[in-house]
Every structure is written in structure tokens, then in C-alpha cells.
Chain A
Amino acid sequence: MIRYSVLFLLLWSPAWGDNLFRVNHAALPDYGVFNGPVERLAPGTLIDLHPETGRSSSSTCFGAQSVSVRLHSLATGKDFTLPVLRGEYVPCEVRAQAMIPSDAPLGAAELSFQADNDLYGPAKIEIVATRFAPFQDFRNTSGFPVSLSSSAPAGQELIVRGTGAGSAKPGDLSGTIGTQPVEVMAVTHTDASGIDEVRFRLPASLDWTGCYVPFRLGEPQTVFLAATNEGGLCPHPLGLNPSQLAALDAGRSIAWVEYGSGGLSAIYASASILRARFAQPAEGCSWEPRVDSPATTKLETGKIAFLEPDSQGGNSLQVGASKDLLPFSIYYRNPAPIQLRSFDPAVPLDPAKDFTIEWNGSGYEWGDVVTARLNPGAGSRPTLACRAPARNGTMKIPLAVWATAYPLKPGEGADLVVDVGRAADWPFTFDVELVNGGRGAGSVSTSQSAWLSLSLVGGAK
């Protein structure tokens, strides 16, 4: 018995290897960064665990039979075994979900992960009192989900599910829908699954309505809610009819054709695929989630014939019939290329200060948006995306936000990509008919980009 205990201790010794794994809050984006900043997690938080399986000839390439997760509190020296709630296996990658124990002491801690005989970690984390972020999961107080065909009406009480509330009380959480605050009424912790429910009330009149109204609660993480002043069907950017909205709500698909810089594509589009394309965060800056390309099933498209541009600079093309689609036409106008003013990328920028870019805002249409994305020149780190109407002609980029979260080493630079295009929720659309007589939807993604390499002074030493 003693021998087994010794063996166990040896196995779980923090010195047992350098196999990395990353931990992230299940409701926050996973940027795929190993050895990133210390993740802050509240007791009772649902977490995603990703071992870096590519580094070892591990059994995880063949599917692990068992996984276990342990937490070692550096503050108290106490050890915890975490319940593993869910696991998924994709080739050479194991992803598991576990929950931070609800009695985990606050302060620094380490997480260790074992898949069969492969050991990963430890990963440093910090246990904090609260760090709530919502999932894309809204219901009314009767338990019915908010959906595209049953949007939330102004003034309604809703429940959003999320994780990481920890010891938060209603007064500790603040949130917005669009640009208006919401009233947080109650926080309920469901200990067994790591899911928390927050009850809140929408404003009596909504300034921003639609199928994808940005919503924040707790962490600066945006999810999207179908909300209208009257409730019922939401006005979809693609102009979808009630039966198409109902199909998406039921988990089915619509035929969606998009024309953009990548050419013409037609797919079976689910609600989540359309949300990823058309949900538009509010103006200002936010971390852009790492989006894994969803598996899609393609529809067949016919041959494309390009027509001469018209006198207004409009482009037209005609697409022939295919096995799935009848012939259709597309019309769109590209926005004018972005012209940045008085900006010398060779001059190093001070990461402690805001950085303002200016451009010629004349000639843009309502619905044209400028997006500036700041990301490091190398490696996989989150992108800070800032948006402003193209007509504004100016935008502030808070370099400090980016540089504090992900300090650059001396000599490292960053790329700034400035892009002007139609707002995601205001696209050029076109009609698509299927060979079965049904209706699909079409949209155009237009953008004009400028790439700049920035160098920042005073990187982390």
C-alpha cells in the first residue's frame, strides 16, 4: 500500500515533465496559446483542457481511455481531484471539460492533466473570487430558448447561462445589450455541472434590435442575442423568411451562397455558421475570438459570367444553374480603398498610449465599416479588433490593452491590418432559388485591406 502511495506521489510530482497543456475558461475564447498568460478562474468554473499532444508520441493520438485532472493550491498546499465532465477526441487531440472545485482556495494554483499514461502540465492558474462569462444560451423565465423566430422583447426578464460566477452577487455583475445596460436580478450557481445562470432584465426600449444584438455580462466577451422591441421574428441581415428562421432554430440549415474575395461558395448553413458571419460586435475594441472553421457541406454552384461594371462602380455577375441551384445574379459595390492619413509605420509607437489612425472618410456609404486588427507578427496570439463607421475618418486603438495582456519581447513588432468593408450585419444580398422550388439566401462580402507593420518601443524585458 505504501509502495503504491509513493508511486502515486512520484507520478503527480510537479517535476514530471514538460508536456504542455492549456487551460481556458469554457465560456471565453481559446486562443490556442500554450504557456500564455496565467488563466484566472473562479471556484466552480467550467474549464476546457487541451494537452499539446503533438509533442509526444502519445496514446492520445489513438484515443485516450481515461483522463484525470488535479489542482494543487500553492496558497494552502491542498490538492484536489477535479471531476471530468466531458471529453472529445479528434485525431491526435483530446479535449476535456472539468470544473474547478467550488471549495478551491483563492490564490495561485497549478493544474495537471493525465490522459492514460501521458502526463501534462503543470499549468499555472490563479483562483479568483469571480470571473463570469456567458455562453450563447438565452432562455426566458419559463425555460423557452430565445431564438431567431422567437426573439426577446424589450423589457423581458431573461436567463443567460454561463460559468465562472464564483461568489458573485447580482450587484457584482454588470452587462450591456447593444450599448444599453441590463439590470442583473439574480445569480444561481449549479454546482454539479459548472453552469451558472444569471437572471437579468432587458431595457424597456431597445436601441439596437436584430437577430444578433451584442450582449456582454461580466468579462468583456461578446455573445449575441435575438432581441426586438416587440418580440417574435427578428429581422435577419439575409432577409430570411419565417420558415427559414424556424429551420435554423430547429437545428437545420438553409442554402447560403456567399461571394467574396475567396470566390463563390454555397453551403448548408446552420444557425451557428450564419451567426459567425453576420454577428457584428458593437463599435470600439474587443478581443477577436479564435474561430475554428466549422465543418460544412457544400452545395454545387454553376459557372460564373462577369459583366462590365456600371457607371456607379457596381459589379454584376451571373451564375448558371447547377444540381442544387437555379441561375442567379449578384450585384455589389466595393467600398473605396482605405487611405490612411499622416501615418509613418517606421516610427516606433509607445505601447502605453492610445494610437489614433485617420483616413479619408468621404465617399463611404452608410454601413461601410473600418476594422483595424492588431496582432503580433509571429505566433498565435489573440487579435484586438477595433471598429468604427468608415465615414468617421478616425479611430483610437488602445495599445495598452493589447500590450499589457500580451507583452512583446524587445525587438518584436506587430501587424496592423486595416480593412474597410460592409458591416457584417448590413451586407449586399441577392436572391437564391433552389431546384426544389425553395428559397435560399445570398450575400456579398466586400472589403479592401491595407497591411502595416508596426514596431512598438519599450517591449517587455
Chain B
Amino acid sequence: MKRAILLLLLASLPGAAQNRVLYVAHYDLDPIAQPGLVDLAPGTAIYLSPRVLGFMGITMGPEAKDLAKVTATIYPLGLDTSYPITIDSPYQSVYDWYAILPATVPIGPAEIVLYDVNGVAYGPAPVRIVRTRFGVDSRGPWAYSPAYVGRVLPTGGEWVKLAKPAVPGDTLWITGTGLGLATLNEIRVEVGGVPMPIRSAGLLAPDTDQILFDVPKDTRLFGCYLPIEVRIGDQVSNRGSIPVSSDPAACPHPLGLSVEEMKALDQNNSVPVLLFSIGGGPGVVREWAFADFEVLGYMDVAMRSGLQLTDAQEYSCSVELSSQPQRATIIRVRPLDAGAALRLQGGAGNADLTSSRVPQGYAFDPTPPALSVFQPGDWKLSGPGGADLSAFEWPFVLPPPLEILNLDALKSMPAPADFEIRWNGTLYRTGDKVTVRTQLDSVNGTLVCASDATSGRMQLPLTRIWPLFATSGSAQLTSQVARRSARPLLSSAPLKAGGTARGMVVYELGSQITWTRVP
């Protein structure tokens, strides 16, 4: 009731109209309810998020009475025409609406206005109608999220899954939204960075585009989480993942999961997965270790497995933006009991991992912080056994943290130029990866470059980022040696209920350097 009174007051005061805003997002590509100019193709599925910027910073949607019926219209800038937008249904929050842009809206700048049942306008929201901006439908906003990919069969079709992966010779479909006016010869579907032959592309349903493509019979690119993306001209869609295998019964899982376990995940059931990770290093505030032993669902297993990238994809540079689409489906997890505490032995001594409630697992994170426990060399993680797991021992080897040999040259570099960072590559093993992150600012994101740790070198394309970097005046450079997610150190532990839980060890040993440049 108080809120209703407040809204009435807002509406009656000067400038109140400016408080009613509308945010627009591409269904597959953009964060929901974020301001900014959005590029959209005709016929794209979108979210419309009306908001009232209200009292003392509280952001809220329209009053409930306004939700019975809403309409939306897109107005091309400078034209004396308008096009109704099909509003479908609320999405998650009752304030976010799922809608479809008209297919006939002309290319160019435009504005969208949403009207509540009383005709009160929210917006306008600026958009740019472009020929094409395609997003792949996937089960989550992250690159490892499985994409919705199906296999064409004579009798219809079926979804591609871990235990029913795509195989050479298959014809597959992928769905998404935003093909717009793209023509068949400019559409490329890439799996693991390799273009697949396209059969057709077009509208499957009013809100869904479909692309049919073949998996070449001679492909040798196999994995449970191969990246799949769609390129149209110079535009690249979001990434999803797809299982591809020579064995129609299962894909080669990076965690060594059995066929039965993969079937369980396909059926939205869960499997035990044991993840042990170690982090820290010179210049980093503290060292830590964490054993995350859980029964996990499809998405969490995908997250822990990571995308199975080719070397060319893995060892490259990209700019990461901080914002991500918000749509995600996470399957709840259950922790596994491995005993009261775990013990870590090796290097400079022992470390006990005690049971932790938040986050749930076994943690080594002492106060005062540990700074030099994780010396390179042989280590062993052991557990006494508990309600779920029997006693186990995992031997593993820790590499040394990264030491950049020519950091002084980088700091004294007189002008922006590409720069080769060097380290001693002989200290590392296959599967070790060096990542250098150059943090710009919240708008421009972070330049992330990765290289094979055994190569001992990485090209940092500073000239590419200099125009962005010049606005921030300084950057923070973080370097890290980590285990490549697609190649973890595998292990296992016996389950008391019978069978074996798959496990892996990953490490992230980093150093952090504040690298200040005055442009």
C-alpha cells in the first residue's frame, strides 16, 4: 500500500516520466535489465524490462495491476511508421517480458516503448536494428553451457547428449535467434574452431531460427564439451558446447566419467565428482587449498570440465567483459563426506583441510594467511574416509609459480608496442597453461592472453588494447600458471555405496603485478 502511494506521488511530480525506463536485451546475448544501446536483427527474441527508478535507489517494476496486459512498439528513428512487438510472456521476474521483434522492421536506429494497461509509457529504449546478430540457444550463459543441438533422423530427431553424442556423418540442427537478413552463404557454424558444411538456415518458429549442418565424416575432433559458435560476416555468436565422438554411445569425458554416469547426467540426474584445487603464489595475498567433493548435475560437471578447446583457441588473446547474460539453470548439489579432515603432505610440510560450511567442502585457508606452503615438487592429498567416501590417497606434482624473466623491460617500455613475455618453459609439463590478465577498467574489461607453459613465451598485443588502456592510465597485470581444464590431473576415490568417484587436481599458481603506465 505504501508503495502504491509512493508511485502515485512519483507520477504527480515534475520529471516523474524520466523515472519510467525500459531496458532491452537480446534473448541469447545480453544481460537482462542493463542500460545501453543494443544491436538486434529483425525477428529476434528479446527481453523487455520496464522499471521505475524509485525512492532511495529502489528499482522496481510497474505495479501489479499493470501486468494484466502490456503492449510494445518499435519506432524506427526518423520514419513516420511504427511496428507492434509481439509480447509473449513474463520471464522469471514478472517485470521482464519475453517478446519478438517484427521481421519487417527496417535496418537502422530505432526506439522501443512499452505501454502498460493504462497506456503509460516505459522508455523509450534505444536500439539499433542490424542485418543480423545471432545468438545460440544454450542451457546457460557461459561458454561451457551445453548448446541445444539436435540430430536429424529419418523419423524426426533427437537431442545430442553426452551419451548420445554427435558422430561423424550426422546432420545436426542448432537453434537460436537473430539470424535476421543473413544469407545462407555467409553463415558459418564452427565446432572446435572448424567450419561445418551448412545445409539450410531459417525460421523454425516465430521466435526461433534454426541452422542445419553436417558433421564431416572425416572429422577427428572429439570431446564432450567442444565449443560451438556461429559466425556471420564479422559477427560471432555466443559460445556453447557440444559433445562429438567416434563412439555413438558416449563422448570421451575429460573427467573420465563412465557411460552410465554420462547417461545419468543426460537424464538430469547427478554424479559424484571430486575437485581438488590449489591457489596462491608470490604477490598474491594468500595461499589456499579447497576440496570440493560433491554430487553434481549436468551444468556443474560442464563447468568443472571446461571447454575442450583446440590449442589455437586455448592459446590466444581475447577481451573479457565483466557483464554476462543472467539466464542460467543450475542443478543443486549435495556435498560428499570424506571424513573430518583431509591432509596435504609435501614440499615444506603438511597442511590440514578442515570441513568448511561456506563454501561447503574441505578448506585450507589459515589465519594469518599462508604465503609459502605450496612449494614445487611432490605432494599427496589423503582422506581418512567418511560417510560417503572410503579412505584415499592422491599423489600429484606442483609446478613452480610463474617467474617473468623480462618484467623490467615491460615496465620501462617507452612506447606502446607488442611485447613478448618470457619465462623458463622447461619447468612445466604438457597441460600447464600460462595466463596473463591485463585489467583495464570496468567498461573495457580485461585482456586475457594464454600460452602453453612449456613454450616459455607469450606475445602480449599491447598495441591492440592501447587505445582502451590509454583511458585508464594504468593496468594491473596478473600472471598465473594453471592446469588446463580439459587436461586435469585425474584421480579417483572409492565410494562406500559402491563404485568409484572421479576426481581431479587443478592448480592456479599466480603472481600479481601492478603495472602502471602513464600514457
Interface residues of A (CB under 8 A from B): 26, 46, 63-67, 85-89, 94, 97, 135, 137, 161, 193, 195, 243-244, 247, 250-255, 268, 297-299, 323-324, 433-440
Within 8 A of A (CB), among B60-104: 75-80
Cβ–Cβ < 8 Å partners of B16 in chain A: 86
Cβ–Cβ < 8 Å partners of B78 in chain A: 244, 254-255, 433-434, 436, 438-440
Q: Is A435's CB under 8 angstroms from B107's CB? A: yes
As a 0/1 sequence over residues 1 to 37 of chain B, the CB contacts with chain A under 8 angstroms (1 = contact) are: 0000000011011101101000000000000000001
Complex CA gap A94/B76 in Å reads 36
Interface residues of B (CB under 8 A from A): 9-10, 12-14, 16-17, 19, 37, 53, 55-58, 75-80, 106-111, 113, 121, 123-124, 126, 128-130
The chain A residue sitting closest to B75, CB to CB, is A252
Instruction: List 28 A–B pairs whose Cβ atoms lie within 8 Å, in order of A's numbering.
Output: A46-B13, A64-B56, A64-B57, A86-B10, A87-B55, A89-B57, A94-B56, A251-B124, A252-B75, A253-B124, A253-B126, A254-B78, A268-B77, A297-B126, A298-B37, A324-B108, A324-B109, A434-B76, A434-B79, A436-B76, A436-B106, A436-B107, A436-B109, A436-B129, A437-B79, A437-B108, A440-B77, A440-B78
Q: Is A252's CB under 8 angstroms from B14's CB? A: no
Q: Is A88's CB under 8 angstroms from B77's CB? A: no
Complex CA gap A298/B17 in Å reads 22
Q: Is B14's CB under 8 angstroms from A26's CB? A: yes
The chain A residue sitting closest to B19, CB to CB, is A88
Q: Is A253's CB under 8 angstroms from B111's CB? A: yes
Known contacts A243-B80, A247-B75, A251-B121; A434 and B57 CB within 8 A of each other: no
Complex CA gap A324/B109 in Å reads 6
The chain A residue sitting closest to B106, CB to CB, is A436
Q: Is B111's CB under 8 angstroms from A435's CB? A: no
- CB B132 to nearest CB in A, in angstroms, measures 13
Complex CA gap A86/B111 in Å reads 28
The chain A residue sitting closest to B16, CB to CB, is A86
Indicate the member of A26, A244, A436 with the most B CB atoms within 10 Å.
Answer: A436
Q: Is A434's CB under 8 angstroms from B108's CB? A: yes
The chain B residue sitting closest to A433, CB to CB, is B78
Q: Is B106's CB under 8 angstroms from A63's CB? A: no
The chain A residue sitting closest to B17, CB to CB, is A251
The chain A residue sitting closest to B125, CB to CB, is A297
Contact of B108 among A244, A298, A435 (CB under 8 A): A435
Cβ–Cβ < 8 Å partners of B76 in chain A: 434, 436, 438
The chain B residue sitting closest to A246, CB to CB, is B80
Cβ–Cβ < 8 Å partners of B14 in chain A: 26, 135, 137, 161, 195
Cβ–Cβ < 8 Å partners of A94 in chain B: 56
Can you name 6 extra interface pairs (CB under 8 A) apart from A86-B10, A94-B56, A438-B77?
Answer: A86-B9, A97-B13, A251-B113, A268-B126, A436-B79, A438-B78
- CB B420 to nearest CB in A, in angstroms, measures 34
Q: Is A299's CB under 8 angstroms from B109's CB? A: yes
Cβ–Cβ < 8 Å partners of A26 in chain B: 14
- CB A102 to nearest CB in B, in angstroms, measures 17
The chain B residue sitting closest to A91, CB to CB, is B57
The chain B residue sitting closest to A300, CB to CB, is B128
Q: Is A434's CB under 8 angstroms from B12's CB? A: no
Complex CA gap A297/B125 in Å reads 10
- CB B372 to nearest CB in A, in angstroms, measures 36
